[in-house]
Chains A and B, each alone.
Chain A
Amino acid sequence: MNKLLSITNLSKNYYHKKEEISAIKDISFSLYEGEFVSIVGPSGCGKSTLLNILTNMDTKTTGNINLKDNLKFGYMLQSDSMLSWKKVLDNALLGLEIRKEKTKENIEYVKNLFTKYGLKEFMNKYPDELSGGMRQRVALIRTLALKPDILILDEPFSKLDYQSRLKVSDDVYKIIKEEGKTALMVTHDLAEAISISDRVIVLSDRPCIIKNIYQIKREKEGTPIENRKDKNFAYYYDLIWKDLMFHD
């Protein structure tokens, strides 16, 4: 498999007036093309920081990050963050507009994504006319518009209610697989991580170190909702839950 990125011995410290806080300590892992990897860990353990460092929005203290040449990240945030004064289509084109890549082909590409994922008739509406789940899908299209190699998903479903959450994670999973993207997702929801990913990285409480990495094996590959019924689901759930509950 084609390796897209590898992180070795990454650490991050925060400095306050009175103390130095070690947020991330000695983390190493790699990401391969086409993979869906989830990172789980207690809240506030530095998961988001890790993503921010990867995408150059924060700085690392020590360690190495090796990226494949010209690797492009696409970031999907916790909230759908739509600009209320712009139409849905213009919201989806925002990244292209800012990066000055709003070409005819790219606009066409985005419009096709809308059609493909059943949002065509909502293109010219304003965000507040859409449901939370729809807006989340638009947010994904906005991210895909930049044709990223790796999708970074930071708790992408946490602001949705439970039912839409299941539905949207199914939708998002399908879209990501269909577009053949690699994804790195941060979540605190174990079931979500196990049902959607190929690999789950379990982080500890602060300072955040890797506790375990699980390659998720299933009897049959399906959508996240189907995967929840898989025989091994409970087994992984139990393992990861114990990882998170019991400290060394």
Chain B
Amino acid sequence: MTKEHQNYLKKIKREKIIVITFQILILVGFLILWEILSKYKIINPFIFSSPSKVIETIKNLYLNYNLIGHILTTLYETLIAFILGISLSFIIAIILYEFKILNKIVDPYLTMLNSLPKVALGPLIIIIAGANTKSIIVMALLINLIVGIMSIYNGFNNIDKDLIKLFKTFNASRLDTLFKLTIPASYKTIISSLKLNISMTLIGVIMGEFLVSKSGLGYLIIYGTQVFNLDMVMSGIVILIVISFILYKIITYIEKKLLK
């Protein structure tokens, strides 16, 4: 290795260290600031809680309120809604792509549904699907489906026109074109849509839990608000941040593996 090359590698390494150090500093600084502001009552400790109280509350939730059960409920609902969402958007996108006329017909309705704040449908969903897990999953689906369909459909639409012509020159059937060209060619788009989909699903699940549930992180947050235990609300939010971050990282990892 030449000296210049070594210098270059050193430079990259140094940059990485700087980035990570500052990321940690920001987090620690934020926590310390939060703790101090709360301790000296510069911000209202009853509303804003504090890191030490959050840790205490999480411990308490874990011991007395079945915290793990709540986390698992939310994770379970997210997983189901995510898998359902991905598969349904995939199937619907294929149907819309293969039958262009159908796409033209439903286009305004899809746009309408997309711009509608889905939470407005919440009460209706509860009445139709019942105040149970089903409602939560329907809610999450409403939110992740449209985005999923649109991103996969766009992936299909962006396939190289020359490749489509190539298949035409071979007199390929529609089924052949679908399985040998359309789907494999949009593999990357489909995989990349997973990341967007997981955040959408989590939004839907928490929203659903706000509306109906008897357990889950969304329930903890809403319950905490109702009994005015804002330490519990804060703790719920903190756990949710950690979980969504971990889920996002897992999906990014899977995406990397699949795209190799």
Q: A: which residues have CB within 8 A of B?
A: 55, 57, 75, 77-79, 81, 83, 85, 94-95, 97-99, 146
Contact = CB atoms under 8 A, between A and B. Distances in A.
Given A77-B166, A81-B165, A98-B176, 8 more contacts: A55-B169, A81-B166, A83-B163, A83-B181, A83-B184, A94-B180, A98-B170, A98-B171
Contacts, number: 37
Interface of B: 160, 162-163, 165-172, 176, 180-181, 184-185, 187
A77 B162 CA distance: 8
Nearest to B180: A98
In terms of DSSP, what is the predominant structure of the interface of chain A?
loop
B170 A99 contact: yes
5 contacts: A57-B169, A83-B163, A83-B185, A98-B167, A146-B170
Contacts of A95: 169-170
Contact of B162 (A81, A85, A99, A146): A81
A57 B168 CA distance: 7
Contacts of A57: 168-169
Contacts of A55: 169
B165 to A, nearest CB: 6
A213 to B, nearest CB: 26
A2 B59 CA distance: 91
Nearest to A97: B180
Nearest to A57: B168
B73 to A, nearest CB: 39
B153 to A, nearest CB: 20
Contacts of A83: 163, 181, 184-185
Given A83-B163, A98-B176, A75 B169 contact: yes
B35 to A, nearest CB: 52
A83 B180 CA distance: 9
The 8 A-B residue pairs with the shortest CB-CB distance, nearest first, are: A75-B169, A81-B166, A98-B170, A81-B162, A98-B172, A79-B162, A95-B170, A81-B163
Contact of B171 (A77, A78, A99): A99
Given A98-B176, A99-B170, A78 B184 contact: no
B64 to A, nearest CB: 53
Contacts of A85: 184-185, 187
A88 to B, nearest CB: 15
A83 B166 CA distance: 10
A75 B162 CA distance: 12
A85 B186 CA distance: 11
A6 B167 CA distance: 26
A227 to B, nearest CB: 29
A81 B160 contact: yes
A146 B171 CA distance: 12
Contact of A77 (B169, B180, B187): B169
A81 B163 CA distance: 6
A97 B166 CA distance: 13
A15 to B, nearest CB: 19
A146 B166 CA distance: 13
Contact of A94 (B162, B165, B170, B171): B170
A98 B160 CA distance: 19
Nearest to A56: B171
Contacts of B160: 81
Nearest to A80: B162
Contacts of A98: 167, 170-172, 176, 180
Nearest to A74: B169
A94 B176 CA distance: 11
Contacts of B184: 83, 85
Nearest to A95: B170
A14 B163 CA distance: 24
